[in-house]
Structure 1
Amino acid sequence: MKIRSELFIGGEWVAGTATLPVQDPALGETITEVAVAGERECAQAVDAAAAALGPWAARAPRERAEILRRAYELMTDEADEIARLIVRENGKVFADAKSEVVYAAEFFRWFAEEAVRIKGDYRLAPGGDKRIIVTHQPIGVSLLITPWNFPAAMATRKIGPALAAGCSVVLKPATETPLTALAIADVLARAGVPGGVVNVVVAAPTAQRVREMLHDPRVTNLSFTGSTEVGRVLLHEAADQVVRTLMELGGNAPFLVLADADVRAAVAGAMVAKLRNGGAACTAANRFYVHGSVADEFTAEFARAMAALKVGSGLDPANQIGSLVSTTERGKVADLVDQAVGAGARPVTGGTILDGPGAFYPPTVLAGIAPDADILDVEIFGPVAPIVVFDSDDEAVARANATPYGLISYVYTGDFRRGLQIAERLDSGMVALNRGVLSDPAAPFGGFKQSGLGREGGFDGIHEFLETKYIAADI
């Protein structure tokens, strides 16, 4: 697979106004220089998407579905190559990257199936004077903005439903990890997506270029995954043209271990929930609330499991934890731990930056965390687990809900009924009950409160790219 570093506009690979380096965060080396889109190139991408919209929307749903199915097959066949590319620009270990590619490809397969199952409605009005006909049509040119932590999955989770619905898109990937997005564009082109339906631009300066595209009246939809802070800014920008928005924003996931939990199972789940992508995930368990009766046992076993992990380059299959995406991100994680320790927390394992090159930080477990500690208010985005002890279910639920975020929660208990009751009380859009992972292309992904608007995946995902139209017809 050729590493693509140009912009992808109108089905062509084109140069930009400048280039920027893409770094390997584990080695501190430049992988390549990627083309940067200025105002003209971003406008050209919107032009191309607008020109391609009508013909693509007019394609039969089955045709769109078959193209997405071919994209799924190509990604599956080339999963190892794409995974190695993710490792190089993102830093995660190969096993995590391969898992991401498999998950990412599934969005193409799922929405290939959904493309032919968009439902409508036809019925007699209650007054008997007309027929109510409800149909759906593509919302139009959609601007997609994706983060660096899952460069493949966040792209396909948006592109898949957009194309299935009949929309054309402009994808702006994160500047830290643009190569994976460009590789996916190449896959889609080879799968048969017509020129202009998918465009990929690495834009700079990012805020200005995005602002310009959002103010183009042909852009009617925005799908963004990233921080709540940036999401707020984009909501303001989208308001001027009343652009519809889908926002998958920050998280602060609580992980509850109740008194009757199987501690070994809880530790195994915690390892997955905390360390997917090295902790750099909006779904990562961020705050651990453990009942006092099992707190010592859970903390000791969790720390042993964390300490046993081997940290190093993601290309070495022996390593289980890779680097963070940059030394800047590592510095943020290290500062959070230092501040927590300064406030009285105790590192049971980890807690200090590793010697040597690369943006590595060791798996860390912090005990003695006060319920009002500052680290509990921040999305850590690294392999750090602060543990708070609680005394009752009511206390655990209250502490879990004491955040402006509500993306995902985790609950471990030996009583399924009790777990469901707790899950219903938690203010989050998703709950993993006795599981360390819950993401699935067939399920609706999204949060409550300041964790976002709308849902991706599942039956809901395609409707984020559709408008509902009601037609009243005489009998």
Structure 2
Amino acid sequence: MRLPPLHFASPLRPRAPHITFQFRRMASAQASVFGLKDFSLIKTQAFIDGKWVDAKSGQTITVINPATQEELGTVPEMGLAETKEAIDAAAKALPAWSKTTAKHRHDILMKMFALMQEHHDDLGRLITLENGKTLAEGKGENAYSASFLEWFAEEAVRTYGEHIPSPFPNVRNVTIKQPIGVVSIMTPWNFPSAMITRKLGAALAAGCTAVVKPPPETPFSCLALVELARRAGVPDGVINVVTTFKNVSEVGKEMCESKIVKKVSFTGSTPVAKLLAGMAASTLKKVSLEAGGNAPFIVFDDADIDEAVAAAIICKFRSTGQTCVCANRIYVQSSVYAEFASRLAEKVATFKVGNGLDESTTHGPLIHERALEKVQAHVDDAVALGAQVLVGGTAIPGTSFFHPTVLCDVPAGARVNSEETFGPLAALIKFETEDEVIKLANSTDVGLAGYFFSRDVGRVWRVAEKLEVGMVGCNTGLISQAVIGFGGIKESGLGREGGHGIEEYMNTKLIVFGGLN
């Protein structure tokens, strides 16, 4: 439901009482749908140049709660014209924002961090409502999301240059760091808050201005963050948000090809990442691309099986399997295969799927019907080739819920080995030797994350170095932190986020001083 625009009455002509009552009634209905303590965090308009705005066409996008299939609200269906306005607004705000001191940007980001903590319950609930993950995971994401603002606030004051000794007399070489300019940010629905702050926090800390295109499935978390940024003192035009679904092609094209935009940051699928990289190449702008994964999870025979099972639960089934670093192929050495499979299936059988707001729910819905269809297709394909279902294996009819599933004896030719499932499917594959499993783990075009369990120190170093991925979890299934460089190799993308990711939003300039007698 869209709230009607507010009209301020003339002092000579008071607003009609029935209009006031109607607005309050609609606002109350909207508040009851979300159930937030601070209703003003719910924004149903996009944000350009410091103003909440509708689409010029008047068209809207309906946002659905995936757990209940009920409408949460609508946001504007924007297009090329609004995107150009947002880019122009960011360009207009850039000179002043880029000249602020690093300490000033630090202070504003820390205010925003504090506001995210203050509104922790509301922001976590908002994530759960539009994404479907459990409330515990929603609140966990908010904490993770806020940590990027804290981290990059601290990075802002440490964007050091350097002095480089010259081989020539009376010459000094100095490098300085400068903000790259206007940046385009495009994010996915699986982490509707954290994927934004991981990019936007770095951009703001560096002194850049931004245009953000959130996913149409989960726009409300993004808009709530913008409201908190406004309260924290981020000036008009520094952050702009364009919401779109039907017009995503023309909006994305403009965000990549505009000569005003100097940097593109995207998280999503590999095919889309390739498409955007091609568009950005038209002006040779800088890109950061965090694309698809197909993470191997390896359990060697000397592993602590209890720890490996617990880590597999976290790594595979977090957010109902809808994360880019989820274990997708679980390789278990033959001598411990039966034990691992039995223990994992026993744990998964205790899961309860349902509405994330229900305290007893352990796993929420998948985001939409297409996601359900893909998981089912991977299960059916593996079973047809000889795999066995230990737990789950089917969707709940008429819903977006899929029973958490464990398959054993998954053959090498199964689709799950070559495609990212992005759902609650644990596919177990037996292996015999270290060399064999390394070859299997690396037999994919992508390389985002990989995991393995072993207590052999020599093996730990060998396997960690041989896995063709950007990030390795050794005896752990959870690697995401604000302080580390997040990203992949091969077709999993370019660049790194978090950690020293502020460098992705800055140019290094050399200044050579001559004639210094």
Mark yes or no: TM-score above 0.5: yes
- Residue 158 in 1 paired to residue 199 in 2? yes
* Equivalent in 320, 339, 348 of residue 278 of structure 1: 320
SS at match of 1:294: helix
Q: What aligned pairs does 1:62-141 form with structure 2 within 5 A after superposition?
A: 62-141=103-182
State the 1:33 CA deviation: 1.1
The more displaced of 222-231 and 413-422 is 413-422
**After TM superposition, what 4+ stretches of structure 1 lie above 4 angstroms from structure 2?**
none
State the 1:345 CA deviation: 1.0
State the 1:416 CA deviation: 3.5
- Residue 376 in 1 paired to residue 417 in 2? yes
Taking the aligned partners of 1:417 and 1:72, their CA distance within structure 2 comes to 42
Aligned to 1:323: 365
- Residue 439 in 1 paired to residue 439 in 2? no
Q: What aligned pairs does 1:362-373 form with structure 2 within 5 A after superposition?
A: 362-373=403-414
Aligned to 2:470: 429
SS at match of 2:302: coil
Which amino acid in 2 is paired with 1:13?
A: W
Contact 1:223–1:245 (8 Å) recurs in 2: yes
Aligned to 1:46: 87
Deviation readout 1:214-256 (Å, 9 max, x if unpaired): 2221111000000000001001111111121000000000000
Aligned to 1:398: 439
Which amino acid in 2 is paired with 1:239?
A: A
State the 1:37 CA deviation: 1.4
Taking the aligned partners of 2:380 and 2:67, their CA distance within structure 1 comes to 22
Deviation readout 1:131-171 (Å, 9 max, x if unpaired): 11101100000000000000000000000000000000000
Deviation readout 1:103-122 (Å, 9 max, x if unpaired): 00000000000000001011
Aligned to 2:15: none
Aligned to 2:251: 209
Which amino acid in 2 is paired with 1:182?
A: L
Contact 1:49–1:197 (8 Å) recurs in 2: yes
Contact 1:161–1:462 (8 Å) recurs in 2: yes
Q: What aligned pairs does 1:445-456 form with structure 2 within 5 A after superposition?
A: 445-456=486-497
State the 1:419 CA deviation: 1.3
Cα 1:416–1:72 shift into 2, 3 Å = farther
Aligned to 1:268: 310
Taking the aligned partners of 1:414 and 1:293, their CA distance within structure 2 comes to 16
State the 1:367 CA deviation: 0.6
Contact 1:259–1:293 (8 Å) recurs in 2: yes
Aligned to 2:507: 467
Which amino acid in 2 is paired with 1:161?
A: A
Aligned to 2:348: 306
Taking the aligned partners of 1:101 and 1:213, their CA distance within structure 2 comes to 27
Query: What runs of 5+ residues in structure 1 fail to find an aligned partner?
Result: none
Deviation readout 1:390-436 (Å, 9 max, x if unpaired): 00111111110110111100011122342122111100110011011
Taking the aligned partners of 2:164 and 2:248, their CA distance within structure 1 comes to 48
The more displaced of 416-425 and 360-369 is 416-425
Deviation readout 1:8-36 (Å, 9 max, x if unpaired): 11111111131010001110111001112
Q: TM-score, normalised by structure 1?
A: 0.98
Q: What aligned pairs does 1:237-248 form with structure 2 within 5 A after superposition?
A: 237-248=279-290
Taking the aligned partners of 1:167 and 1:29, their CA distance within structure 2 comes to 38
Which amino acid in 2 is paired with 1:380?
A: T
SS at match of 2:208: coil
Aligned-residue identity in percent: 43
State the 1:128 CA deviation: 3.0
Q: What aligned pairs does 1:227-266 form with structure 2 within 5 A after superposition?
A: 227-266=269-308
Contact 2:79–2:250 (8 Å) recurs in 1: no
Taking the aligned partners of 1:400 and 1:294, their CA distance within structure 2 comes to 18
Aligned to 1:143: 184
For the aligned residue pairs, the C-alpha RMSD in angstroms reads: 1.0
Which amino acid in 1 is paired with 2:366?
A: L
* Equivalent in 178, 185, 197 of residue 226 of structure 2: 185
Which amino acid in 2 is paired with 1:133?
A: V
Which amino acid in 1 is paired with 2:408?
A: A
Aligned to 2:45: 6
Taking the aligned partners of 1:335 and 1:54, their CA distance within structure 2 comes to 51
Contact 1:25–1:327 (8 Å) recurs in 2: no
- Residue 420 in 1 paired to residue 454 in 2? no
Taking the aligned partners of 1:384 and 1:109, their CA distance within structure 2 comes to 34
Taking the aligned partners of 1:434 and 1:128, their CA distance within structure 2 comes to 54
The more displaced of 365-374 and 136-145 is 365-374
State the 1:358 CA deviation: 2.6
Contact 2:116–2:228 (8 Å) recurs in 1: yes
Specify the structure having the higher radius of gyration (Cα): 2
